[in-house]
Structure 1
Amino acid sequence: MWLLRTLSYPQTNVFVICFSTASPPSYENVRHKWHPEVCHHCPNVPILLVGTKKDLRAQPDTLRHLKEQGQAPITPQQGQALAKQIHAVSYLE
């Protein structure tokens, strides 16, 4: 799958990297997997960082599940901080 993905990178004008605001592991994958891969193959292509599923951030079931895991939803401030860290042109939810 990795090789197939990298074949699609040439001629890319912008990357949209998404993570679920209801999944801290998804958020961490941006930093440890997706951003390094994008920067390795296309170092000068702009990145938009997008936090998805923001509606789940306040759902009792989601909060309960995350609390059981010792986690919490990703806040807009955390999304903004990650966007700054990876030099994304913008953060959207």
Structure 2
Amino acid sequence: KAIRTLASLNPLDSCRKAFKTLKILTIVGLYILSVVTYIDKTANERGEDIHTYNTRRAIDFILPQHHTTQYSKKPSYAGRKMYNSLPKHLKNFSGKKLKKGLQ
């Protein structure tokens, strides 16, 4: 409702463009941003930590094996998957530069 007021939208108008013009992240976007930045801060195991071969997945985080879907819903696991799906140019950043690139 606040976005509709800020953007002067009618009740039936879409808010999607208003979020982009006002440069405000949605709730889902905020969750993704916080989880990916948390994963970047913590020292997790990457492919390059396991072996010295130059592979295309070397900068990705290793996803631990699990037996339940409950484990795959944890922010630590989901964050690794989200980070691994980022474009390569964003994976090269860390800290504030990564956060700025995600916004």
TM-score range, shorter chain: under 0.3
Normalized per residue, the structure richer in strand is 1
Highest CA radius of gyration, 1 or 2?
2
**TM-score, length basis structure 1:** 0.24
**TM-score, length basis structure 2:** 0.23
